[in-house]
Amino acid sequence: MDAAKGLKLKNIFSQNAIWIVLVALILGIAIIDANFLSITTLRDMMVQSSTRVIIALGAAFVLITAGTDLSAGRVVGLSAVVSASMLQMPDYASKFFPNMPELWLAIPIVIAIVVGLLVGLLNGIIVAKFNVPPFIATLGTMVAVYGANSLYFDMPPNNSQPIGGLRKDFTELGTGAIGGGQFSIPYIVLIAIFVAFIVWVVFNKTRLGKNMYAIGGNIQAAHVSGINVARNLMWIYAIAGALYGLAGVLEAARTGGASNNYGNMYELDAIAACVVGGVSTTGGVGRVKGIIAGVLIFTVINYGLTYIGINPNWQLIIKGLIIVVAVAFDIRKYVAKK
Amino acid sequence: MAKQHPYLLEMNGITKTFPGVKALDNVTLKVRPGTVHALMGENGAGKSTLMKCLFGIYKPDAGEIFLDEQKVDIKNSKDALNYGVSMIHQELHPVPQRSVMENIWLGRFPVKGIPPFRFIDHKKMYRDTVALFEDLNMAIDPNQLVGELSVSKIQSLEIAKAVSFNSKIIVMDEPTSSLTGNEVEQLFAIINKLRARGVSIIYISHKMEEILRISDDVTIMRDGKYIGTWPAPELTIDTIITRMVGRDLSERFPERTNKPGDVMLRVEGLTSPHAHSFKDVSFELRKGEILGIGGLVGAQRTELVEALFGLRSVKSGAIYKNGKPITVKSPIDAKKHKIALLTEERRVTGIFPVLSVMENTAIANLGIYENRFGFLNESKMRKEAVSGVEKFKTKTPSVDQLIRNLSGGNQQKVLLARWLLTDPDILLLDEPTRGIDIGAKYEIYSIIIELAKLGKSIIMISSEMPELIGMSDRIMVMSEGRSTGILNGNTASEQSIMRLAAQTG
């Protein structure tokens, strides 16, 4: 009876280990500097986490199929530039498209997201139809997308100038909030929560989600079970691309500008957050809750350790350690079960 | 007190408990030098756990291990090798991209030169390998890539590797599971040679005929307990089965109560584009009929049913279902035509190890759970998974259990439930009872007959001849890709099947 109880407690711990680590981190920082627990700090961290959550969720789609997506960061950069280029103030001096009329806000946003989706679809086609390993396929698109983005960014009259002077209604998306003062909730956080909810629904309540877990769990069995593996993979990569696209739009809105270097290396942060959040590197396993916790842990480390004045280089070392230790623990869980 | 050591290996009072399960309970294993010692028991009886304790993969909670009357503490498989204990696994793990000799001497390559300028001595490695193979009468080229070898050659290589470690005890786990008759004879010749030199073999297998032929002693385990050890000549298949299952299986097969009806499937001249695969195969399958397919390994039986399921391409020939011609180019087509396949390699192409029993049950048929908004009805999914578990008496704590934690027989039941949800007319079963223990086999047989009774047409590949005879209404025998004859299940004998299976040209 007691043993069973102990086991149950152990299970609760191991299943929520990441949240316990997260709370411990926050409390640890708060002990050093109690001001850390202010609403402003927490809101800042939520805002910082928002686009990262969206990118990580996109990467998770691909990781759960036992794939990987290195193109995430460059797609963020591409969609940031694409959306920003069409959303400058009409009277701004150096406009990307000098003669562009003021578009309805949704149009450039949708275009940017569709651009991301198309890159993702391309990844999916290369992986599913041409059987190129995902690492290589997305390495190729990662490089090529940056090239394409830089070409676009270099078009006259812009000539590689950072795109600025973004419309207020657009930047409001990234910086505005519902309510005012202390208790306001930033739009960007609401968007991230909404996206997380939709992704949770897709993961758990739809055929695509079940097929995604099945493909990652055993791609051969998925094929034999009559799952259209190629079509599902193309959808999955395309959705991932669309999420990176959305994240790029939000990055442009949040920072009020864009350049071709936006999003550089974000894919590594996203993959790190996923694996720390319990997404199995061998496929078939991963939950939205864990991925969010993974992102939050890295944000707390970034923000919190800066807050208490720890050298940013130390933060990198700590981040690296956490990635390796988390995966080592995760793998141990499976090895022990054998 | 000088005396001849009666036992080379003694494992006494081995007990191992996992959370909630007593996997081994006071188990004894005593192996005499220069003998083949069969270790038998149903799946889950604790054979592999016992072997894992021998190799230090598990640490027993209680018990002692003696080698040559010396108490030993084996901490890992490297320790085991140093003590002269090695294992040939059921699934072989060579490095396919490297040569035969590199695989044998991996981790202990002969070197020449003075440190730090030490290089691999390839000449010595080649000479040693040739000597080793000559000693064992094996014809393998040391320079060939392992990936190019047949399964039986790879197994020979693993045995040679064990011998090269001067192993006194070699554990063989289901060594004949993927060998043809001829290759089994070669394996037995090697085993006899090793036995004559004083090497002891611990032989784990489900194949009774083999065990009675090759072994000197038989130890039987059941439910993690030691049942006893007997000299093989004192045992018969029936006494072994009785002791393994602890109950009398007066009949190994349930009574066939299905009644074949009209022709459901007609295959005409089906031919593979590959020269060495199936050729010009024709047969009919009736509604409610069980058609067995017999033959030796390499007869292309799996290839044939996989072609019927759309996993392999077809060059010529036709498939008619209910008199209408159909084309099956993918499993998606097969599902549309209500054809289901249970593959031979359950772990490779059947189960999703990291998913639950429920998800494993539902996965081939998610469409029926989808509502018009594209959301899945999980409660319906759960209900049907539960009913599948209940119908087939699948042993699992709940449908949320990961399928990899189930035994082979129970995994197979989940896969059967998966395919039955697609409501197939034709069920293709490729070695449906491979690696499944006897008790569970009987249950699977009952399920198959029950399905035939419901009017499903069943094709069952089996390499066990008693199973073919006991289960099939008719038996098609294949050899080298051709159908060499169709026998009546009631009158077929092992001899008549064997004759057709060995027919060539």
Chain A, 187 to 216: residues with Cβ < 8 Å from chain B are 201, 205-207, 210-211, 213-214, 216
pLDDT tier at B1, thresholds 50, 70, 90: very low
**Dist. CA A101–CA A108, nearest whole Å:** 12
Taking CB atoms and an 8 Å limit, are A207 and B374 in contact across chains?
Answer: yes
β-strands A185-186, B225-231 pairing? unpaired
Cα torsion through B111, B112, B114, B115, rounded to 10: -10
pLDDT band at B501 (very low <50, low <70, confident <90, very high): confident
Output phi, psi for A85, to 5 deg.
-65, -25
Structural domain span for residue A129: 49-263+280-285
Interchain pair A206, B374: CB under 8 A: yes
Split into its structural domains, chain A has a count of: 1
Residues contacting B161, CB < 8 A, separation 6+: B86, B103, B104
Instruction: Determine which of B349, B403, B415, B422 to mutate to test the interface with A (most A C-beta atoms within 10 Å).
Output: B349
Residue B464 · residue B454 · CB < 8 Å? no
Instruction: Select the residue of A210, A216, A284 nearest B366 (Cβ to Cβ).
Output: A210
Q: Which two tokens stand for residue B112?
A: 């020449």
Minimal CA separation from B306 to chain A, in Å: 10
**B362 vs A210: CB contact, 8 Å cut-off?**
yes
Tokens representing B354? 């990291």
Cβ–Cβ below 8 Å for A205 and B376: yes
**Amino acid letter, residue A66:** A
Provide the token pair at B401.
Answer: 């259990």
| Cβ separation A206–B376 shorter than 8 A | yes
Task: Tell me the pLDDT tens digit for each residue of A306-335.
Answer: 888 888 899 889 889 988 888 887 766 655
For residue B359, the chain A residues in CB contact (below 8 A) are: 210, 213-214
What phi-psi label fits residue B284: left (phi over 0), alpha (psi between -120 and 50 degrees) or beta? beta
What does the pLDDT look like over B178-210, one tens digit per residue?
A: 777 788 888 899 999 999 999 999 999 877 888
Q: Looking at CA atoms only, how far is residue B452 from chain A in angstroms?
A: 22
Over residues B330-343, the pLDDT tens digits come to 999 999 999 999 99
B352 vs A285: CB contact, 8 Å cut-off?
no
> With an 8 Å Cβ cutoff, are B352 and A218 in contact?
yes
Nearest CA in chain B to A211: B363
Non-local (6+) Cβ contacts of B207 within 8 A are B176
Residue A126 makes CB contacts below 8 A (sequence gap 6+) with A132, A137, A140, A141
Min Cα separation A218/chain B (Å): 5
> Which long-range CB contacts under 8 A does A84-91 form with residues at least 24 apart?
A84/A163, A84/A166, A84/A252, A84/A257, A84/A258, A85/A152, A85/A158, A85/A163, A85/A258, A86/A111, A87/A166, A87/A167, A87/A170, A87/A252, A88/A163, A88/A164, A88/A165, A88/A166, A88/A167, A89/A165, A89/A166, A89/A167, A89/A168
Nearest CB to B332 within list A7, A220, A226: A226
CA distance linking residue A192 with residue B419, whole number of Å: 39
Class of domain B9-245: alpha beta
pLDDT in tens, A106-163: 999 999 999 999 999 999 999 999 999 999 999 999 999 999 999 999 999 999 999 9
User: The complex's ipTM?
Assistant: 0.82
CB B242, CB B438: distance < 8 Å? no
Contact B376 A280 (CB under 8 A): no
Residues of A in contact with B375 (CB under 8 A): 201, 205-206
Name chain A contacts of B354, Cβ cutoff 8 Å.
Answer: 213, 216-217, 280, 283-285
Average pLDDT over every residue of B264-290: 94
Kindly state whether residue A268 falls inside one of the protein's structural domains: no
Q: Model-level pTM greater than 0.90?
A: no
CA distance, residue A223 to nearest chain B CA (Å):
7
Look at residue A21 in the predicted model and tell me its pLDDT: 85
Query: In chain B, whose CA is at the least distance from the CA of A7?
Result: B19
- Which residues of chain A are modeled with pLDDT < 70? 1-11, 14-15, 331-338
Which chain A residues are closer than 8 Å to B348 by Cβ? 218, 220-221
Cβ-count burial A64-79 (b if 16+ within 10 Å, e if not): bbbbbbbbbbbbbbbb
> Considering only CA atoms, which of A218, A220, A235 is closest in space to residue B359?
A218
* CB atoms B350 and A213 under 8 Å: no
Q: Which residue has the tokens 């959305």?
A: A246
Q: What is the DSSP letter of B374?
A: S
Is A222 close to B363, i.e. CB distance below 8 A?
A: yes
Q: How confident is residue B247, by pLDDT bands cut at 50, 70 and 90?
A: low
Per residue in B368-401, pLDDT tens?
Answer: 899 888 899 999 999 999 999 998 888 888 999 9
Chain A nearest C-alpha distance from B447 (Å): 20
* C-beta separation of B429 from B35 below 8 A: no
Q: Are A217 and B353 within 8 A, CB to CB?
A: yes
SS3 call for A28: helix
Contact B19/A284, CB-based, under 8 Å? no
A108 membership: H or E segment, kind and range? helix A106-130
Q: Which residues from chain B sit within 8 angstroms of residue A213, using beta carbons?
A: 352, 354-355, 359
Q: For chain B, what are the domain ranges?
A: 9-245, 261-338+424-433+457-505, 345-423
Tell me the pLDDT tens digit for each residue of B170-185: 999 888 877 777 888 8
CB A50 within 8 A of CB A191: yes
- Cβ of B331 within 8 Å of Cβ of A224? The answer is yes
C-alpha B130, offset from chain centre: 31
* Residue A53 confidence (pLDDT): 98
Residue A297 belongs to some domain of the structure? no
Do B422 and B338 meet the contact criterion of CB atoms below 8 Å apart?
yes
The residues of B whose Cβ lies within 8 A of any Cβ of A are 19, 309, 311, 330-332, 334-335, 341, 343, 348-355, 359, 362-364, 366-367, 370, 374-376, 378, 405, 418, 422
| Structural domain contains residue A324 | no
What tens digit of pLDDT does each residue of B78-116 get? Answer: 888 889 999 887 666 778 888 999 988 888 888 888 877
Residue appearing with tokens 């939950």: A287
**To which CATH superfamily is domain B261-338+424-433+457-505 assigned?**
P-loop containing nucleotide triphosphate hydrolases (3.40.50.300)
Best A8, A11, A224 member to test B by mutation, with max B CBs in 10 Å, is A224
- Asked if A207 and B370 come within 8 Å (Cβ–Cβ), the reply is yes
How many CB pairs (< 8 A) connect A and B? 80
Select from B355, B356, B404 the residue whose CB has the most chain A CBs within 10 Å, as the one to mutate to test that interface. Answer: B355
> pLDDT class for B241, splitting at 50, 70, 90?
confident
**pLDDT, mean over chain B:** 88
Residue B159 structure tokens: 């045995």
- Cβ-Cβ contacts under 8 Å, B353 against chain A: 217-218, 284
Give every CB contact of residue A314 below 8 A, 6+ residues apart in sequence.
A305
